Structure 1
Amino acid sequence: MKRNHSILSKLALSAFILTGTFAQLPTTSHAASTDDTPVWSREDAQNFTLTDENTAPNIDSFTDVAPDYWIWDTWPLRNRDGSIAKINGYYVQFALTASKEYTWGGRHDHAEIRYFYSKNGKDWEMGTVPYDTDKALGYRQWAGSAMMEKDGTIHLFYTAAGRKDEGPTFEQRLAKTTFEMDYDNKEGFQVTNNGDHQILAEADGEYYETQEQKTGSIIYSFRDPWFFQHPETGEEYIIFEGNTGGDEKTLEEKHIGDVDEDVPAGAEDYNGNVGIAKAENEDLTEFELMPPLLEANGVNQQLERPHVVQKGDDYYLFTISHQFTFAPGLEGPDGLYGFHANSLFGDYEPMNDTGLVIANPAEDPFQAYSWAVLPHGQVISFVNEYHDENGNFQQGGSFAPTLKLKLKGDTSEIKREMGEGEIHG
């Protein structure tokens, strides 16, 4: 497999240094944690096997919907209850974009959010940046989610990465702005009534690691706000990617599980978690940080773009992970990972025993990334790095084929492939 290009590209966002020394399980004081927070343990995160049920079909070509721009993390406009929204009959998706005047690896330092629209949910046209970039928070804007009120107000949740006057640092804060969108046959899509940009939450150092508390070689996380309205209580939350807070990094027995091995030194620096904050007002401008929904101390550094899909009595917590963010001694594919519980704050257990829901094919392990599961089991992602029909390495940067996923209890199965970026309500 030709993997050198993929690894070099990933180093543009964060460095990965694998320590070669090994140590016994630490037994001293540990980072701040909640005793009853569910864990994805080292015992769980092993023996990943690619099967017909979890392996995505091969990608050897794609339609570039925005030839002048890189496109990556993508999310649809949803209604307050999580269903897919429409504006005058049009589906809308938002995505991270950057001009192709920047390199593939350098795109992260110049990310802006643009919208795309489609009448049939298949054929997409690119719109503009729907906010004033001079007023947006952060040196650049990273991924989030979008929700539309019944009155047409759109809440765009995003990650304010860095600060305008400091350049592209890795500081991350959860932010939001509002605007309205309309479509008519003469003018096309118009964005109006732009609201203020506000910070909703910052890492507290207790539940969620701050930039100053970070150890290890991979950047810390406090990003990817995903709006979620509880279907039973109506309470509203943002779910996000974090790291376990605290100044001392050690592992507890629950993070290890029943494994007959010494834990490699440095594994304690990999402390990804799935965070949650509760809305304190209807305007969604005030949020209270809560203990995380899931933690992966000693397993994985980045549980990216987490989101919850509810189906009857089943709650599915999904997240994405890179191969290189697994802790020393563990090997997992770039993939979509899922956890199942019977309530939002339930005892999440890894789906399919290990947590793996979708993986790229072994012959092209980095072909797609940033999967997001929508209410009807549609799974969107973007084309990352792949090999074409002639075996040549290519950089992607556009919508990948949507996958249809069947969820049943704590198991999942890929049923079929759909169109590139295809969504339906």
Structure 2
Amino acid sequence: MKTNHKKWLSVTLAAGVVLSGFAAPQVSAEGESETSYWTREQAEKIEQNEDNTLPYTDVSELEKFAEGYHVWDSWPLTDRDGEIARIKGYQVLFALTAPDDVLPGKVHDIARIRYFYSKNGKDWEMGGTLFPDGASLGSREWAGSAIMDDGKIHAFYTATGRRGEEASTFEQRLAMATGDITADKNGVHFDNWGEHKITLEPDGEYYQTKEQAQNGEGGGYAFRDPQWFKDPKTDKEYILFEGNSGGAVDERTFKKEFAGSDEYLAENPVPEGAVHANANIGIAEVIDGDPSNLKMMPPLLEANYVNEELERPHIIVKDKQYYLFTDTHVNKYAEGISGPEGLYGFVSDTLIGGYEPLNESGLVLANPEENPYQAYSWLVLPSLNVVGFAHFGDIGDLSIGDLGNQPADYQFEKFGGTLAPTAKISINDDTTEFVKQYEQGWIK
């Protein structure tokens, strides 16, 4: 999907182009391949069809997941291997929440993690907030993941802002805490929490800091969404996360690999404004089995000059291949590229390096064109069921950015704030296909 623009970058085609602001990909100590790129050439192949488009959902008819609360990003409790965990027959689902009298555009300012439990994976009871009041390290809690380990829970989350700050900031750090899990006839309980710890902060080299992001107009800032992953081939453990490539916007130098082939670049000059897009997917190794001890690594994937926000990255291993999934919004694409609100994916034979987009473009699932914002924040489970939340439905020609200017009653009417119907996909090597749709919140 290509758009013509009047301003274009001056591009050097010689091999070994200097890259100052973005961290140069490196080879690991084990000799693993360098950081992969999602290129402009690949992203321009994005096209919706029956294999990647979700059915229309009337968001207004969906059942509210939690009485009195908006609910959005969700994730299940898993074991260390990534399989959905059971504690005395219960499954547990976590989600970001806010009181449902808060305007949809303000929910992220007061987000708390709440948990839900179920015997059958589709009928859920709310257990309450995951952490005691005032315990988490941010002024609000953003998305993460959680694993069960020998009667304990290791809960990973994004500490956004700082506890007690007078005015909310958007500083983001990866955080965790460990507590006890118990279950009885009255449900699941979490208590005896240990000290909350910051496990990782952006370094400014591989991952952009808040200060770098603020040095120059435009572009995004992200260091969030810690996702546990254990590599079944090596038994090594990792945390994946969303980031942005290091360096301020005025330090960035274009690299031809961001665009694609020489032939593509010769016919498709890169718009000047694309410099603001610098999303990446980060990874850190867990040292000596201690989830609070992380070693930062170069990014798994960069989307420089392509996209500015690759949210909630996670990996599924199937048929000895690594499937890396992420979400992005229609308004996060770089100048000259367009794509829908969707779930995107990449495949490689190795954990680090070699990732190529699924379905040639990366698009796995998208909302229907007649309801482009009906769902978001998809997470692929080991069963290839895909959970997400109902976002905004039936808003006509409005963009997502227009909604905050609409009357409050209109915003509440159009906002889902509940779990979306669960989707099912199939995977065959480097292609995927939408298979069917289940009830809301179905994680079995």
TM (normalized to structure 2)? Answer: 0.87
Q: What is the match of residue 97 of structure 1?
A: 97
Alignment of 1:325-364 (within 5 A): 325-364=332-371
Q: Which amino acid aligns with 1:142?
A: W
| 2:331 maps to 1:324 | yes
Q: Which amino acid aligns with 2:436?
A: R
Tell me how far apart the structure 2 counterparts of residues 286 and 348 of structure 1 sit (CA, whole Å).
27
Q: SS where residue 288 of structure 1 aligns? A: strand
Tell me how far apart the structure 1 counterparts of residues 44 and 75 of structure 2 sit (CA, whole Å).
30
| 2:424 maps to 1:404 | yes
Q: Which amino acid aligns with 2:268?
A: E
Post-superposition CA distance 1:180-212 (Å, at most 9, x none): 222222x43322221110000000011101011
| 2:15 maps to 1:24 | no
Displacement of 1:372: 0.4
Post-superposition CA distance 1:76-113 (Å, at most 9, x none): 00010000101111111000001123211000000000
The farther-off stretch of 191-200 and 316-325 is 191-200
Displacement of 1:26: 4.5
Amino-acid identity (%): 47
Tell me how far apart the structure 2 counterparts of residues 83 and 107 of structure 1 sit (CA, whole Å).
30
| 2:237 maps to 1:236 | yes
Q: What is the match of residue 165 of structure 1?
A: 164
| 2:25 maps to 1:34 | yes
Runs (4+) off by over 6 Å? none
Q: SS where residue 275 of structure 2 aligns? A: helix
Q: Which amino acid aligns with 1:255?
A: F
Tell me how far apart the structure 1 counterparts of residues 356 and 207 of structure 2 sit (CA, whole Å).
21
Displacement of 1:22: 1.4
Displacement of 1:29: 4.4
Q: SS where residue 369 of structure 1 aligns? A: strand
Alignment of 1:149-298 (within 5 A): 149=149, 151-166=150-165, 167-185=167-185, 187-214=186-213, 215-247=216-248, 248-257=251-260, 258-259=264-265, 260-298=267-305
Tell me how far apart the structure 1 counterparts of residues 53 and 10 of structure 2 sit (CA, whole Å).
34
What are structure 1's unaligned runs of at least 5 residues? 1-17
Displacement of 1:281: 2.9
What RMSD over aligned residues (CA atoms) do the two structures have, in Å? 1.8
Alignment of 1:385-400 (within 5 A): 385-387=392-394, 394-400=414-420
Q: What is the match of residue 65 of structure 1?
A: 65
Tell me how far apart the structure 1 counterparts of residues 289 and 182 of structure 2 sit (CA, whole Å).
23
Q: Which has the higher helix share?
A: 2
Tell me how far apart the structure 2 counterparts of residues 104 and 19 of structure 1 sit (CA, whole Å).
34
- Aligned partners of 1:336 and 1:358 also within 8 Å: yes
The farther-off stretch of 153-162 and 130-139 is 130-139
Q: What is the match of residue 113 of structure 1?
A: 113
- Aligned partners of 1:222 and 1:240 also within 8 Å: yes
Displacement of 1:312: 2.3
Displacement of 1:307: 0.4
- Aligned partners of 1:401 and 1:420 also within 8 Å: yes
Tell me how far apart the structure 1 counterparts of residues 287 and 11 of structure 2 sit (CA, whole Å).
39
- Aligned partners of 2:83 and 2:382 also within 8 Å: yes
Q: What is the match of residue 379 of structure 1?
A: 386
What are structure 2's unaligned runs of at least 5 residues? 13-17, 27-33, 396-409
Displacement of 1:132: 1.9
Tell me how far apart the structure 1 counterparts of residues 161 and 70 of structure 2 sit (CA, whole Å).
20
Tell me how far apart the structure 2 counterparts of residues 222 and 19 of structure 1 sit (CA, whole Å).
32
Q: What is the match of residue 401 of structure 2?
A: none
Displacement of 1:20: 7.2
Displacement of 1:176: 0.3
Q: Which amino acid aligns with 1:347?
A: G
Tell me how far apart the structure 1 counterparts of residues 195 and 390 of structure 2 sit (CA, whole Å).
33
| 2:142 maps to 1:142 | yes
Q: Which amino acid aligns with 1:234?
A: D
Q: 1:303 aligns with which of 283, 296, 310?
A: 310
- Aligned partners of 2:48 and 2:366 also within 8 Å: yes
- Aligned partners of 2:219 and 2:278 also within 8 Å: no
Tell me how far apart the structure 2 counterparts of residues 65 and 303 of structure 1 sit (CA, whole Å).
26
- Aligned partners of 1:33 and 1:244 also within 8 Å: no
Tell me how far apart the structure 2 counterparts of residues 339 and 380 of structure 1 sit (CA, whole Å).
18
Tell me how far apart the structure 1 counterparts of residues 184 and 40 of structure 2 sit (CA, whole Å).
53
| 2:41 maps to 1:43 | yes
Q: SS where residue 43 of structure 1 aligns? A: helix
Q: SS where residue 268 of structure 1 aligns? A: helix
Post-superposition CA distance 1:119-153 (Å, at most 9, x none): 1111112111121231211111100001101x210
Q: How many residue pairs align between the two structures? A: 402
Q: Which amino acid aligns with 2:8?
A: A
The farther-off stretch of 95-104 and 76-85 is 95-104
Displacement of 1:410: 0.6
Displacement of 1:232: 1.6
- Aligned partners of 1:276 and 1:290 also within 8 Å: yes
Tell me how far apart the structure 2 counterparts of residues 239 and 56 of structure 1 sit (CA, whole Å).
26
Tell me how far apart the structure 2 counterparts of residues 84 and 295 of structure 1 sit (CA, whole Å).
29
Tell me how far apart the structure 1 counterparts of residues 390 and 440 of structure 2 sit (CA, whole Å).
10
Q: What is the match of residue 13 of structure 1?
A: none
Q: What is the match of residue 8 of structure 1?
A: none
Q: What is the match of residue 399 of structure 2?
A: none
Change (3 A) 1:216 1:304: farther
Displacement of 1:45: 0.5
